[in-house]
Amino acid sequence: MKNLVKLAGLIAIIAVIGFTMTACDDGTKDETSDMDGTWISTAPANADNYLRIVAKDGKFTQSMALSKTAETWKELLKGTYPKNAKSPVTVTITDVNTLIFDQADQWYTWANLDATYQGYVGSQTIDITVSNNQFTVNEVTFERQ
């Protein structure tokens, strides 16, 4: 009888530990940022070009192409954001391609970018609020693909 009580107690302890481990947050929930994903402008950002942002693991690249389904996108901006950030997400531009200003295909870090060009881009940091799989920056609306 004592052995049966010990066995029942041991089974109860194992069950409690098992349920506790199942209920614990293993860190896999909400590991993505609201910014993660591929985003494409809903209309041309200027007369001809669509913009695409690909964001993953705290890094993003903004590219430009003539259509939403273009096979070739030309990279214009690169940057970072907090990996697990929820909306609003603060993105920081780290690198700029002067193609964005109709200049030669040349990359510059934000610090090395001429102040005039910095002014055209605007702020190095931008707060993006994602709502219903959309966000708008500088009057350009992006949708998650």
CATH number at residue 117: 2.40.128
> Would you say the C-alpha torsion 103, 111, 56, 131 has a positive or negative sign?
negative
In this prediction, residue 27 carries a pLDDT of 47
Residue 48: inside a domain: yes
Residue 110: inside a domain: yes
Q: Where are the beta strands (DSSP E) in 11-101?
A: 37-41, 50-56, 59-65, 74-80, 89-97
Q: Give the single-character DSSP code of 8.
A: H
Residue 86: inside a domain: yes
Residue 85: inside a domain: yes
Residue 135: inside a domain: yes
In this prediction, residue 23 carries a pLDDT of 42
- Number of domain units in the chain: 1
Q: Name the residue range of residue 87's domain.
A: 37-144
Residue 112: inside a domain: yes
* Per-residue pLDDT tens digits of the chain, which is 145 residues long: 443 333 333 333 333 333 333 344 444 455 789 999 999 999 888 778 999 999 999 999 999 998 888 889 999 999 999 999 999 999 999 999 999 898 999 999 999 999 999 998 889 999 999 999 999 998 899 999 9
4 φ/ψ sector (left φ>0, alpha ψ -120 to 50, else beta): alpha
Q: What value does the CA radius of gyration of the chain take, rounded to a whole number of Å?
A: 24
The number of CA neighbours under 13 Å toward the Cβ of 28 is 4
In this prediction, residue 92 carries a pLDDT of 97
Residue 31: inside a domain: no
